[in-house]
Amino acid sequence: MNDSGSVSELVSLLLAAVAASLLTAVGAITENAGISELLANPSVFGLWEIGMGALLLYVGINMLGYRQVWTGLRQQLA
């Protein structure tokens, strides 16, 4: 592979890693807010926050972090 293709793939992996980190952090914060909301005053909004937090964690960790970043790094290093 040529150098420009390799550099562009590394940049895309870096951007995916940043996006995965942000989604994971926001997911954890949302989960925490949802649990706090449910403990203070049980409501549907607290359940919604927990659901959205779980979705963000799934997307950040599994779909971006593992499937794109981790496998992309393994392919780059192989």
pLDDT digits (tens, 9 = 90+) for 1-29: 556 668 888 899 999 999 999 999 999 99
For 58-76, how does the pLDDT look when each residue is reduced to its tens digit (9 = 90+)? 999 999 999 999 998 888 8
Give pTM, 2 decimals. Answer: 0.84
Alpha-carbon distance of 74 to 31, in angstroms, equals: 31
Alpha-carbon distance of 54 to 24, in angstroms, equals: 9
